[in-house]
Amino acid sequence: MYEDHFGLTDKPFKLSPDPKFFFSSAHHDRAVAYLHYGLSQGEGFIVVTGPIGTGKTTIARSLLASLDDSIVPAQISTTKLNPEELVQLVAAEFNIEVEGLGKAEILRKLEQYLHQLNRQGKRALLVVDEAQNLPAETVEELRMLSNFQLDDRPLIQSFLLGQEELKPIIELPEMEQFRQRIIASCHLRPFNAEEVKGYIEHRLTQAGWQGNPALQEDIFEKITEYAAGVPRKINIFADRLFLYAFLEDLSTISIKDVQSVINEMGEELSGSLQSGRTTAASLISGSQHQQESNESSENTLNLSATEIQQILIDVGHVLDQVIQRKIKIIRYLDKLIATKKKDAE
């Protein structure tokens, strides 16, 4: 929407994990380094954990995009799979026909396939995303898969990525054998303000940004606080901030604008009419209580002049907000029409 206006060639804050936009924060760099280390070792498990939206899938995609032909990857993003379903899914990801076959038969075919890769000088890499959804016995099945070996070298290697709930699964007493196979693990953390600045500017630059709109230095601290440093939340917020900058014709984004967008988004989440309604409703119900306790039989509201005035102020405030929003939408539609017209000429 705002891309053309600011001369951008791509959507800078889209939510899909695109390796093109990969930003190397210290934690992300470390996770990538561990994954590469794991690849160089060719055995054992690498585990990457992190809170929701901190970039686990993005890291996996970046890694897969950088692999050469000697590694044949399969990525599964799990729902709650039992061991049998896991084996089926893994085999299917490696394009092995599994229709109607039992687990033992599938495992046999999978082993044949891995041997065949080995003869071609290749090896298999299994990336399990959303691994926090796996029951412990399924994680254990992954360990069994890592037992496929030839001359003491494993034929398949696995990386596990998951939200924080993955940690307690791995720490279960019965997972000791699995734990002993973990050669490296790391935990992603949300960005600090400096990283948020680097992250936003990096994504913008990848999308062709040349400083329009300019970003004032003090906005990053505020954005970090609002989005808790989580990349996915930063993307959602920054996208709205740029839309706002476009609608308001801004050439510089200041902390005041960041605050306006925070307020707008807060109102949307809490329901914009809620506060006005609550005040009016509480006044009315307060007045009703008063009436009931006065044992009045009339069904009319007995509001004082001050209460009526307060309700009118609330209603006026709500109407103002609605009008402001409608004006914004109309201005936005105007702009969109003007842009389309320009494109058509």
Q: Which is nearer to ligand ATP, 28 or 123 (CB)?
A: 28
Token code pair at residue 109: 């075919």
How far apart are CB 80 and Mg ion at their closest, in Å?
16
Q: What is the DSSP string of 74-125?
A: EEEE-SS--HHHHHHHHHHHTT---TT--HHHHHHHHHHHHHHHHHTT-EEE
Residue 163 sits in the site that holds Mg ion (CB under 5 A): no
Q: What is the Cα–Cα distance from 345 to 335, expressed in whole angstroms?
A: 15
Strand pairing of 252-253 and 214-215? parallel
126 in helix, strand or coil?
strand
* Residue type for position 232: R
CB of 24 to ligand ATP, least distance (A): 7
Q: Which does 17 bind (CB under 5 to 8 A by kind): ligand ATP, Mg ion, none?
A: ligand ATP
Cα separations (Å) of 50 from 66, 189, 231? 22, 6, 12
Within the chain, how many helices (H) and strands (E) appear? 13, 9
Least distance from C-beta 150 to Mg ion, angstroms? 32
- Hey, which residues between 9 and 68 contact Mg ion (CB under 5 A)? 56-57
Residues 57-86 that bind Mg ion (CB under 5 A): 57
CB 168, min distance to ligand ATP, A: 16
Task: Supply angle C-alpha 143, 149, 153, rounded to 5.
Answer: 105
Query: One symbol per residue from 284 to 323: x for binding Mg ion (CB under 5 A), - otherwise; what is it?
Result: ----------------------------------------
Question: Which residue lies nearest Mg ion, judged by its C-beta?
Answer: 57
Name the residue nearer to ligand ATP (CB basis): 236 or 273: 236
Binding site for ligand ATP (CB under 6 A): 15, 17, 21-23, 28, 50, 52-58, 130, 163, 231-232, 235
Q: Which residue lies nearer to ligand ATP by CB, 117 or 207?
A: 207
Binding site for Mg ion (CB under 5 A): 56-57
